[in-house]
Structure 1
Amino acid sequence: MYLGTPDTMKGWEGLTEEQCQQRIEEGMAAWGSWMEKHRDILVAEGGPLGKTKRVDPSGVSDVRNEMTGYVIVQAESHEAAARLFENHPHFTIFPGDCVEVMECMPIPTA
């Protein structure tokens, strides 16, 4: 899960439109390279995430969270999956905060 907060965008404040575009192009190229390098273990390429709705017993409401995108990978272990994201463009080029890696657990059976 790719995470980012509005505060992370502060690193882009003051950049010109041209500088922003250059950084976006650099970041997308690096992201594409990361995806290509790991294509054999990609279960789902994922993508960016948009606005969030929360549904609970009170109904539906607009909420905000830090999730900005996702990808699903298959790895030998939780640790190995986490190591795949070290120095990822999400936070080395783009203004993302971090990547959180969670296991997809099997549904329990009775």
Structure 2
Amino acid sequence: MTLIKAPLPDAEKSRALAQNRNAFTVDCLIDSTGLPAPVRIPRPDHVHVMVADVDDLGEWLRELGGEIHVSPEFEGVELWTLHASTELCEDGTSTRVLVSVPVPAGELVMHWIRAAVKR
């Protein structure tokens, strides 16, 4: 028995294409720069990247710039998230990138990384 593939509705197709484009853009960035990215989660409007430690977050900050948002402390840990974007593509678009790492509250963090924090 063969199932007939129904075409995706236009909205779903657009979301899937945007998600694939974002994944490709960030994968190309990672391949060309060697940025640490053990976990990547593409979405239609951005890509989440989870890194292992705050030094890895610093590598992304150095490459893309941006600002870091820090969540309220929960069970002794804060979630630090870099909000950045890739360079503009030929079509004038860029991809938002959110790079996150759990940081123990009170952890010593390099000054130049902490300077990017916008609470």
| TM-score calculated relative to the size of structure 2 | 0.35
Greater helix proportion? 1
TM-score (norm 1): 0.37
Larger relative CO (CA 8 A, sep 6+): 1 or 2?
1
